[in-house]
Structure 1
């Protein structure tokens, strides 16, 4: 069985969210299905999208694991975004949490140093 995540993030302001996610992900969307959604490919069969859904905005919590954790955070910082918080767990795994304009949490996880 193949499982391919298509993770949604509800937002209130399409233009503000589009600009923010382009900074976070470092690229424009892979495709725009309509005037209220934008979709980014994160890798083979892995997707994240924003959708204007004001009544649900601000409640998403997604963590993306990256093997280039430090380099990825440095590139995101170069584009003007800093994590809202950083975490380190007892097993050494690290996490940086970003908050979009609606307060949705998009975290990046990485292996120990």
Structure 2
């Protein structure tokens, strides 16, 4: 039986919504696609995949989000052009390359490129 799951929302809890949403707009290269309610911003990253920034002071800084990219070096350059510096590239030969950054509240964002054979 096929799973009925058809979408995913990764939620990033923050204390300072304005600062965090501005940072994510810079990181992602555009303003949020949707502001469904006050102090919630959402970016559609792929079909059925959303990144949400929302107020949750008690959990702020405790989340890790992994974002798949086609080309990690291109993503690194886009971030550099926006004034955001990714961490060092870690490579797991034949599997993935990845680079991390923390948002201003301490939440970790990992950009990951699949380098497995056949990809």
Aligned ranges 1:25-64 → 2 under 5 Å:
25-64=28-67
How many pairs were matched up? 112
Looking at structure 1, the residues matched to 103 and 40 of structure 2 have their Cα atoms a distance apart, in angstroms, of: 15
Q: Which runs of 5+ in 1 are unaligned?
A: none
TM-score (norm 2): 0.87
Q: Which runs of 5+ in 2 are unaligned?
A: none
Pairing partner for 1:22 from 4, 20, 25: 25
- 1:60-112 Cα shifts (integer Å, max 9, x gaps): 11111111221121011100101144321243511111100110001100134
TM-score (norm 1): 0.91
Looking at structure 2, the residues matched to 13 and 66 of structure 1 have their Cα atoms a distance apart, in angstroms, of: 27
Aligned partners of 2:14 and 2:61 also within 8 Å? yes
Aligned partners of 1:85 and 1:98 also within 8 Å? no
> 1:83–1:95: structure 2 CA closer, same or farther, 3 Å change rule?
same
